[in-house]
Amino acid sequence: PLESLQVVRRVSGQQVDLVAKNNDVFPRAHFGTGPQQKHRTFYEFRTYCILPDQNAAFLKLTNEKIHLRTAHSELVGYWSVEYGGLNKAFHIWKYDSYAQRAEVRATLAQDPAWVSEYLSKALPMLTSQDNEVTYMVPWSRLQSPLQEGGVYELVSFQMRPGGPAVWGKAFQAAINAHDAPGYGKLIGAFHCEFGLQNRVHALWWFESPDHRAEIRHTAHHDARVVAAVRNNIVNLDSQRNQLMLPCPFSPLK
């Protein structure tokens, strides 16, 4: 007699193996949440909240001493938040692996110049620090702005549980609907690995805040954008936007 038979069924977009044994059926699910990360490279998002009366002093100190930090790993960009938050600095660091990051942190802790000239002075100026580990989504690559100057917008989407297998295609379509026609320059799209789960970020560049407002108004009248956004928001729990100014020492300007 036939003891077992494997049957494949699709349930809500997920592959489920139904294993039949002795006339009883047992589900064996493979709950993949989307494309697997193929590269070890990741990007650390860091947000520092600064004492209101120390904001200018913190940015000045960082401008003078950032070379002590960039000697150890790659800085992608460093910004001051202008709208969507007050007295905040946001920066992105690139690492080839977790081992590299651990080595960098250990080296910095033993660097007397970094500790005495920057860290000991900067930390009392801060009220909090936060970080996330993110990966570029598979269909995005880190881009450069069309020109130096301008402003950046970080749009953070808190998606519903389920991962990219549930909302990935709709999110990609919504981003591409803005990027392809030129409703902003997409610098990169990132998926959070450590931090809030099911969180994705889109980093955009615009010539100015007024330029951003103008093309956003135009995009709202584009039927392709409206349709893509409507398909995406069914998977969206919340969204946060921050408009940021690049610091003079930021590689992304």
Torsion from C-alpha of 66, 67, 73, 77, nearest 10 degrees:
50
Judged by DSSP in three states, 141 sits in: coil
The whole-model pTM stands at 0.84
Helical spans, DSSP H, in 93-247: 98-109, 112-113, 120-122, 164-179, 209-219, 223-233
Q: Is the pLDDT of residue 221 over 90?
A: yes
Of 181, 173, 187, nearest in space to 222 by CA: 181
- Higher-confidence residue of 4 and 46: namely 46
Please state which CATH number belongs to domain 42-246: 3.30.70.100
Alpha carbon of residue 87 to chain centroid: 20
pLDDT digits (tens, 9 = 90+) for 15-27: 444 444 455 554 4
pLDDT digits (tens, 9 = 90+) for 98-139: 999 999 999 999 999 999 999 999 999 999 999 999 999 999
Of the pLDDT bands very low, low, confident and very high (cuts 50, 70, 90), residue 214 is very high
Look up residue 146 and give its DSSP letter. Answer: S
How far is the C-alpha of 239 from the C-alpha of 137, rounded, in Å? 18
**Once rounded to an integer, what is the mean pLDDT over residues 151-164?**
96
In the prediction, which pLDDT does 5 show?
Answer: 42
The residue extents of the domains of the chain are: 42-246
In the prediction, which pLDDT does 166 show?
Answer: 93
**Once rounded to an integer, what is the mean pLDDT over residues 218-238?**
95
**Once rounded to an integer, what is the mean pLDDT over residues 147-171?**
95
**Residue 57: its H or E element:** helix 55-70
Mean pLDDT (the chain, rounded): 89
**Once rounded to an integer, what is the mean pLDDT over residues 40-69?**
98
